[in-house]
Amino acid sequence: MKTEITLQSVPEEKPGFIAIILYLAFIYGLFWVINQGLIYLFRDITNELLVKIFNNIIWIGYMFLHYKVVKYFLYLIQKQRRSPVILPVLSISEMGINYYTESKKTEWKDISEIQIIDAVLSVTVDLNSEKDFKLNLFKTDLQKQMTQDNFEKLLEYHYKKDVYIYNTPSSCGCGC
């Protein structure tokens, strides 16, 4: 059994180019439907002043929505082009546990409680509550390195007190 492990972050998923194009097609199709609906609603207005006011309000609204759509489109393209960043998140060794995200290194003797509830690791330190942390294990590469049962055994091997582990059973969706 491995006695030391370093968990790393899992890069976030990127949107595909097809999803981005479908997003744009949907939004501009929605613009067209709204435009046709507004033309249908205002077709009976004969007052030219009201028509100009409505046209200006609609034009300003379209420009604002277009600005938001283009801004989000550029964000998606930027997110797509960004290279994934993989960083160490958690290290377990004989000396203790090290949570890299917030630079919290703790020795085993200082830890008062360790819990794993639905794949969320919670570490509590009595004397220094600033060192407490929670980590969602699904956001790490734990599944690639070992099973969750082996991870729990590793924690129990190093941490001589009880490790509280609770997994909610999966629901069948029937409301039972």
This model's pTM is above 0.75: no
- The pLDDT assigned to 78 comes to 84
Contacts of 108 (CB under 8 A, 6+ apart): 95, 96, 97, 158, 159, 160
Which numeric CATH code is attached to 87-166?
Answer: 2.30.29
6-42 pLDDT, tens per residue? 878 777 777 777 877 888 888 888 888 887 887 787 7
Closest C-alpha among 28, 27, 51 to residue 39: 51
Give the whole-number percent of the chain exceeding pLDDT 70. Answer: 94
Six token digits for residue 103? 């630079």
Six token digits for residue 95? 């000396």
Q: Exposed, middle or buried, 72 (CB in 10 Å: 0-12/13-18/19+)?
A: middle
152-165 pLDDT, tens per residue? 888 888 888 888 88
| Distinct helix (H) and strand (E) counts, the chain | 4, 8
What are the residue boundaries of the structural domains of the chain, listed by start?
17-81, 87-166
